[in-house]
Amino acid sequence: MKRLAVIAALLTLLASTLVHAQTRAVAIFAGGCFWCMEPPFDKLDGVLATIPGYIGGTSADPTYEQVSSGRTGHYEAIKVEYDPARIGYSRLLEVFWRNIDPLDATGQFCDKGPQYRSAIFVTDDAQRAEAEASKAALVKSGKLPGRIVTEILPAATFYPAESYHQDYYRRNSVSYSFYRWNCGRDRRLEQLWGPAPKS
């Protein structure tokens, strides 16, 4: 009887793990300062977590100081964990585009350097197809006054940023708001995309 109880408990745990895995997917976006990329995704129903970090460089476990030098090849990025039963990858792509300047090859807003470039890091062929279709539709729309330089790249190892960067906009709302305003992010977004949608 004990053996059956143990087997039943293991099967229950396995089933729970499989359900959890099926209801959690990952998207990775680079859109300049990772503090500024958390809020628009955190507002979405179906987003389970947003994690600022680094991706795409040549060294393992980079620090903020190393990445901010612009010499490691890493991007500041955000990993979005989401429930695909509640929100689709295509919706995440819409939010990503609306929160970046896809025309800037030198960085984003007041932040310049290779670590601030915009990119979509795809985790599989399905994401790549959706990302490419999304970019092509944006090009075709003619909405933006220039060439879209945002790249679509294969996801590499994602390194979470230091703890003081996580949820920075919530924990340091005054300094975050001042930085965002001073950087001109919202002014440029309105120039490109029109007024921000009411949340």
CATH number of the domain within which 107 lies: 3.30.1060.10
Q: In 3-state terms, what secondary structure has residue 82?
A: strand
Of 63-67, 71-75, 195-199, the range with the lowest mean pLDDT is: 195-199
Beta bridge mates, 153:
121
* Distance of alpha carbon 34 from alpha carbon 52, whole angstroms: 6
Active site residue 33: yes
Token duo for residue 73 = 């090849």
Task: Please write the tens of the pLDDT for every residue from 8-28.
Answer: 555 555 555 444 455 899 999
* Distance of alpha carbon 135 from alpha carbon 96, whole angstroms: 11
Position 6 pLDDT exceeds 80: no
Cα angle, residue 182 at apex, residues 196 and 152 outer, rounded to 5°? 60
The predicted pLDDT at position 8 comes to 56
Which strand ranges, in their side-by-side order, compose the sheet holding 118-122?
151-154, 118-122, 25-31, 75-82, 47-55, 158-160
Of 13-22, 96-105, 155-164, 167-176, the range with the lowest mean pLDDT is: 13-22
Report the b/e string of 139-152 with b at 16+ CB within 10 A: eeeeeeeeeeebbe
Mean pLDDT calculated for residue range 155-176: 94
Position 140 pLDDT exceeds 70: yes
95 domain residue, yes or no:
yes
199 domain residue, yes or no:
no
Mean pLDDT calculated for residue range 72-97: 98
Beta bridge mates, 30:
119
**In the 8-state DSSP scheme, what is residue 193?**
H
Position 92 pLDDT exceeds 70: yes
Position 29 pLDDT exceeds 60: yes
68 domain residue, yes or no:
yes
51 domain residue, yes or no:
yes
Q: Please provide the average confidence, as pLDDT, over all residues in the chain.
A: 91
1 domain residue, yes or no:
no
> 33, 36, 110, 183: which one is catalytic?
33
- The model carries a pTM of 0.87
Number of domains in the chain: 1
Phi and psi torsions of 150, nearest 5° = -60, 130
Please state, for a pLDDT cut of 70, what percent of the chain lies above it. Answer: 88
6 domain residue, yes or no:
no
Position 1 pLDDT exceeds 60: no
Q: Which residue from 31, 52, 27, 28 is spatially nearest to 115, judged by alpha carbons?
A: 31
Q: CB neighbours (10 Å) of residue 111?
A: 19
Cα angle, residue 127 at apex, residues 121 and 130 outer, rounded to 5°? 115
Confidence of residue 196 (pLDDT cuts 50, 70, 90): confident
18 domain residue, yes or no:
no
31 domain residue, yes or no:
yes
Position 164 pLDDT exceeds 80: yes
Task: State which residues form the domain around 159.
Answer: 23-193
